[in-house]
Structure 1
Amino acid sequence: MTSARPQDRRALLRRMFDAAIAAAQPALCLPPHLPAPPKGRTVVIGAGKASAAMARAFEDHWTGPVERLSGLVITRYGYDVPCRHIEIVQAAHPVPDAAGLAAAERVRALVSGLTADDLVIALISGGGSSLLVAPGEGLTLADKQQVNAALLRSGASIGEMNCVRRHLSALKGGRLAALCHPARVVTLLISDVPGDDPIDIASGPTVADPTTCADALAIVARYGIALPDNVRALLESGRGESVKPGDARLAGVETRLITAPQMALEAAAQVVRDAGLTPHILGDSLEGEARDVGKTLAGIARQVVLHGQPFTPPCVLLSGGETTVTIRGDGRGGRNVECLLALGVALDGLPGIHALAGDTDGVDGIEEIAGACLTPDSLARAWALGLHPRTSLDRNDGHGFFQALGDSVITGPTLTNVNDFRAIVIDR
């Protein structure tokens, strides 16, 4: 049995989180993946929370002639990074806005009229689904906003949400790469999705899509999502079909995954080893309802404490992935604080356990709060303040709960995004 001061464990948790974020910084992971300069022009396009930082890293390490370099990438408000040759445009996330719509049209214009001597660098990261907004045939921005908001509330997985998004877009599901033909396209990806499937990172604007409009309709029906009439008509008619595998326009497309959740977890694991503890990575792609994942993690932690199985304490349990939240309450929440609060409720003050859950992009839900920390006395402190932990969970009020305790984790814009990070330190 070991003991540690709570402040020491909080500091260790934060060092792990910071290491995970640092490992996913574009300045570190992008340069080794740059292709050779082309004979013709180089056009840089992109979308995502990390796209501006990726553009800066590209400029800092590009060896081609800058007079033949141009580009535009779209990032979330507050995530811009100054660049010299690539324009950075900011737009809304997670629900798209008019700024994103206008920027997407400009991206479309940039890749028109290219030749086989030209090179397109696509910088794609999490958040691109909302930022690269280009409504499909007959749809409006309002249609996309309505469907996107409904998907976010539904509890659908990120793969399911992005399947629907791909079939309502003029650029996703391989369509952007098809517009670049016959130029060579190299896509540099930062994964924020379980399994790291390129089709689900920003809804796959530069990769072929094997899913169909029928698949999108099945997802809509599964979650009882109400669609505007013109949206349903687009899907039912098949006019929203995406670019399929084998399409000749995508023959010159190359996709390179430059960093992913597993790499971030491995960086955190090294911090744990340096602290003299044993890390155990449970998985980089845990999915499901956030509160259910929290309860499951609590069950594992309890087994470690009470029976030394499957791991012997002291140790640290690490995991990543992207959970979902079916919104039923009126609280201020996000999937990470929902998971953490469910973990705390299930542990019910079990001694010797400290935890952190946060989004590596610095935003959990729609709040500028990355996540929170949980300590063995979190529930007792909450009760002393008149907070009811289970009621807060039922209201989807994770941010309200942890902020009242002073346990929110705030990073500011991290300029990257490799999904959720969870760490549980078990001392006995």
Structure 2
Amino acid sequence: MRASLRALFAEAVRAVSPIVAMPLVLPSAPHGRTVVIAVGKAAAEMMRVVQARSRGAAVEGLVVTRHGHLPLTGANWPNVEVIEAGHPYPDDNSVRAARRALKLAATLEAGDRLLVLLSGGGSALLAAPVPGLSLADKQAVTRALLQSGATIEEINRVRKHLSLVKGGRLAVAAGHAAVTTWIISDIPGDDPSFVSSGPTVADTSNLETAREIIARYGIEVAPAIHTALADPANETPDPDSLGLAGAETVVIARAADSLNAAGKMAQALDYQVTSLGDRLQAEARHLGASHAALSRRLAKDGIRRAILSGGETTVTVVNKAGRGGRNLEYLLGLAIALDGAPGISAIACDTDGIDGTEDAAGAIVTSDTLTRAAALGLDPAAHLAQNNAYLFFEALGDLVVTGPTLTNVNDFRAILIDAEA
């Protein structure tokens, strides 16, 4: 079952890789230059595919990706600058990358084209604080938002109003040039305005929305953040703004594609597939417990089943020194609720290969997980309470470590039922 679970995850990742998902024909400029800006965890691989499909034409542009998320073959292309920046928290390179992207877009004229290749992670990788904010302010508010239990949509609504590049501002910088954006979506529901905080997509929220989110989660922020969120100058551009009006945006890969591919493989392995959808959002440990209850009910009919789901759970951090991740917390909540139910195993991994800030994509749970933990003196409930799920699965040797996959459509979860529980 471990091999089957790993195979399902590998197929889910393959189905949304840039080489599979990206169009075969690249859009050309109406009359002049085409500039390609790739941002996100899949940025370098997306640029590699562009280079391969450019039919020998020179490609000019910029790649901004997370530290360590470059192809094994390297990322050395003439006329393309490559910047590795911080994630999940922006760093100095994130600021440099945002300024470079804005400057490059501003060189375009009527008849030129800006092709933007977006994937998850760009919100941290491109950081251009609005006047009055420092990088430290952006880092602090990002950390507070990520630890608050807020959804990714809520987090990005706030980020858009603290940035000079997000919320459509990169498209506005391109002026009269044609703007095309291809997106590998890591957002439940696949709203393109939230992927990497939508640098080329019109925003549907406003400053009041951002202030309400800060208040709703009781997030303590610096006075400069309050000032920025009260300044009308930081409202996101109108959808009819130059650059945004007429911009073309296409989602080329999404979590649903991963689930569909994994579902076909599960059927080939003689499992009856139950898909819970790709938009699940809840506290990770609670969703794990809920899925455990569902699995135990379904196991009673004796049918071999594969329960698949995607989306992005949340984690409320109580131990800031804890080592975990949302997929690991989901699995630990699942394991505790399963309580050793026979014939049920599961995998939960982030499709980018990195769950949270650790080096694992996720982990695997089997029917003997709690028994093996007890033999090692591990208390699963204590590890979960202290946000230390990584340490729990590391001790068991059950982490799934893939390294960066160079794509990202968010979480993939599979539960296999092979006997009556």
TM-score by length of 1: 0.94
For residue 285 of structure 1, give the secondary structure of its aligned residue in structure 2: coil
CA displacement 1:3-45 (0-9 Å, x = unmatched):
xxxxxx0000000000011111111111336324442111111
Amino acid at match of 2:359: E
Partner in structure 2 of residue 365 of structure 1: 356
Task: Select which of 238, 252, 263 maps to 2:232.
Answer: 238
Are 1:147 and 2:141 matched, yes or no? yes
2:45 matched residue in structure 1: 53
**Match of residue 77 from structure 2:** 84
Contact kept, 8 Å, 2:349 with 2:411, in 1: the verdict is yes
Q: In the alignment, what sits opposite 2:10?
A: 18
**Higher helix residue share:** 1
Q: Does 1:94 align with 2:85?
A: no
User: In the alignment, which residue of structure 2 is the partner of 1:207?
Assistant: 201
Q: 1:170 aligns with which of 128, 152, 164?
A: 164
- Report the number of matched residues: 414
Give, in whole Å, the separation in 1 of the partners of 2:345 and 2:411.
Answer: 17
Counterpart of 2:107 in structure 1: which amino acid? G
Q: Deviations over 1:104-130 (max 9, x none)?
A: 111111111311210101011000000
Secondary structure in structure 1 of the residue aligned to 2:383: helix
Which region of structure 1 is more displaced relative to structure 2, 378-387 or 276-285? 276-285
The 8 Å contact of residues 31 and 58 in structure 1, kept in 2 or not, is answered as: no
Cα contact 1:194–1:322 (8 A) shared by 2: yes
| 1:378 aligned residue (369, 376, 386) | 369
Structure 2 residues not aligned, in runs of 5+: none
Residue 84 (structure 1) shift: 1.7
Q: Please say if 1:353 is aligned against 2:347.
A: no
Output the aligned Cα RMSD: 1.3
User: What pairs up with 1:14-413 in 2 under 5 angstroms?
Assistant: 14-32=6-24, 34-63=26-55, 65-66=57-58, 69-81=59-71, 82-85=75-78, 86-306=80-300, 308=301, 313-329=303-319, 330-413=321-404
Q: Quick one: distance in 1 between partners of 2:381 and 2:222? A: 36
CA contact (8 A) 2:347 2:413 kept: yes
The Cα shift of 1:236 comes to 1.3
How far did residue 396 of structure 1 move? 1.0
How far off its partner does 1:273 sit? 1.4
One-letter code aligned to 1:84: W
Match of 1:161, SS state, is: helix
Alpha-carbon deviations, 1:197-248, whole Å to 9, x = none?
0111000100101100100000000111111111111111222211132334
Cα deviation, 1:344-384, whole Å, max 9, x if unaligned, reads 00110111101000001111010011000000000010011
1: CA distance, partners of 2:357 / 2:25 = 32
Distance in 2, matches of 1:188 and 1:122, equals: 6
Which has the higher mean CA deviation after the structures are superposed, 14-23 or 235-244? 235-244
Change (3 A) 1:124 1:33: farther
One-letter amino acid of the structure 2 residue matched with residue 420 of structure 1:
D
CA distance in 1, matches of 2:198, 2:113: 19
Deviations 1:130-183 (A, max 9, x none): 001111122111110010011111110000000000000000000110001110
> Partners in 2 of 1:261 and 1:140 — Cα distance?
35
Q: d(CA) in 2 for partners of 1:64 and 1:185?
A: 22
Instruction: Answer with 273-282 or 93-102: which moved more.
Output: 273-282
Q: Structure 2 counterpart of 1:153, which letter?
A: Q
Q: Does structure 1 retain, via aligned residues, the 8 Å contact 2:37–2:62?
A: yes
